[in-house]
């Protein structure tokens, strides 16, 4: 890991409004394909990045293999989706422009007030659309614990939330 560059990404994330950011080694990422079960059963789905069929869910294993090719990245914590997405895309872009051409962000989408895909229409924000960590087969709760953060399950609507995103760099 290039510590200087990793620190610059962490600093940028905080400057852009992240509640916290930390660099990680790929071994900190907890992979568990069971995350996809939450997508297939119990979630209304329908978003552009959602795996909504068993066939799409089988890609989770492929995604895990792809993500494991990275060596490090930056984990980002925000209190809302739009900020998390904006920061993730900004860090991905900075890493790409610095020569890390495979830099890739993972974030839920927070672009639109109403998602076009929920109404059966095409996504209007495809340039910034990325898959969230759980749709890549990543256990977000365990991953967060692996880097020393605490993440609690939201108990009631309106309780504070932590949006966790990542940029995989090398």
- Tens digits of per-residue pLDDT, 129-151? 888 898 888 999 999 999 999 99
Q: Greatest CA separation found in the chain?
A: 44
Q: 48: pLDDT confidence band, cut at 50, 70 and 90?
A: low
Query: Residues near 75 by Cβ (< 8 Å), separated by ≥ 6?
Result: 21, 22, 23, 24, 143, 144, 147, 149, 164, 165, 166
Contact at 8 Å (CB) between 143 and 75? yes
The count of domains in the chain is 1
pLDDT score recorded for residue 52: 62
Q: Using a pLDDT cut of 90, give the percent of the chain over it.
A: 54
Distances (CA, A) of 37 to 25, 50, 58, 135, 166: 26, 12, 11, 10, 21
Query: What CA–CA distance (Å, rounded) separates 10 from 166?
Result: 11
- Residue 65 is part of which domain span? 3-168
> Could you tell me the two tokens for 165?
């995103």
3-15 and 81-97 helices cross at what angle (nearest 10)?
Answer: 150
């Amino acid at each position: 890991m290039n510590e200087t560059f990793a620190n610059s990404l962490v600093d940028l994330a905080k400057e852009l409004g992240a509640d916290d950011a930390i660099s990680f080694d790929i071994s900190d990422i907890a992979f568990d394909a069971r995350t996809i079960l939450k997508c297939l059963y119990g979630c209304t789905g329908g978003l552009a990045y959602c795996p909504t069929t068993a066939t799409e869910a089988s890609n989770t294993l492929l995604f895990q293999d792809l993500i494991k090719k990275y060596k490090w990245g930056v984990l980002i914590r925000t209190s809302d989706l739009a900020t998390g997405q904006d920061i993730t895309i900004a860090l991905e872009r900075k890493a790409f422009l610095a020569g890390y051409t495979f830099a890739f962000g993972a974030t839920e989408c927070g672009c639109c007030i109403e998602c076009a895909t929920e109404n059966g229409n095409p996504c209007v924000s495809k340039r910034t659309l990325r898959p969230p960590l759980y749709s890549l087969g990543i256990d977000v709760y365990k991953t967060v614990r692996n880097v020393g953060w605490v993440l609690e399950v939201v108990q009631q609507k309106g309780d504070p939330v932590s949006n966790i995103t990542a940029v995989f760099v090398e």
